[in-house]
Amino acid sequence: MPAPKLSRRSALKWFTGSATAATALPGLAAPGETEPAPPAFPTRHPIQDPDFMAQPYPEAWPKTLTEAELKQIDVLADIILPADEHGPAASAVGIADFMNEWLSAPYPDQRDDCETIRGGLAWVNTAAFQAHEKTFTELSLAEQTALVDKIAAPEAAPVPKKFFTTFRQLCLGGYYTSTKNWAQLGYVGNVSIGGPYPGVPAEIIEKLGLQDVA
């Protein structure tokens, strides 16, 4: 049985009705108008949904440490890792900023470290004031070093000992992950090699005991 033919008048009527219904739907533009903007996110999660187009890039979380604490960290870190022929002082590579980022993170391990470090910095200031009536940053280098030697000693009390151990670990971690100090570790990074690949150095093969492996 042949399909019924759709008259020209019926086709135009059907098309006009469909177009009218479409323009009435929310979110669709009427004929001749621009398309509506996509719905904006009411809020953006700074970690799970960062806005990479923002200038400057927003912080993932607010920083916790005060300016006085940051200054104290720089002074203490420079006693542990001073500038020498091998590399710059810890403060020169941004150790205080690194610790501020780490200690401000909203995760259990970082919050524990933050409590340890901030409590330890306060303890050091109290010890400095009791001994010299000055804050730690106001002491001479000799006085600062003597106080650090005291809290770094094996027989140190639990609170300062835990503080110094945690501080030293964070200090070393931040220092040697800085590109300025990779050379001290013998790490050269991705360096292109011209010409054919020379292969694994003979001393490395011998050290691994692979010289007899085909």
pLDDT tens digits for range 18-34: 544 444 444 455 555 56
Q: Residue 176 CB: number of other CB atoms within 10 A?
A: 16
In a domain, 64, yes or no: no
pLDDT tens sequence across 4-62 = 555 655 555 555 555 444 444 444 555 555 666 666 655 666 666 666 666 666 677 88
In a domain, 43, yes or no: no
Torsion over CA of 48, 51, 56 and 58, rounded to 10 degrees? -30
pLDDT tens sequence across 117-165 = 999 999 999 999 999 999 999 999 999 999 999 999 989 899 899 999 9
In a domain, 48, yes or no: no
Does the reported pTM lie above 0.75?
Answer: no
In a domain, 55, yes or no: no
Q: How many CA atoms lie within 13 A of 137 on its CB side?
A: 12
In a domain, 31, yes or no: no
In a domain, 109, yes or no: yes
In a domain, 25, yes or no: no
Tell me which residue range forms the domain holding 134.
70-81+89-180
In a domain, 175, yes or no: yes
Total domains in the fold of the chain: 1
Q: Are 60 and 47 in contact (CB under 8 A)?
A: yes
**For 93-209, where are the E strands, in sequence order?**
none
Q: Are 187 and 179 in contact (CB under 8 A)?
A: no
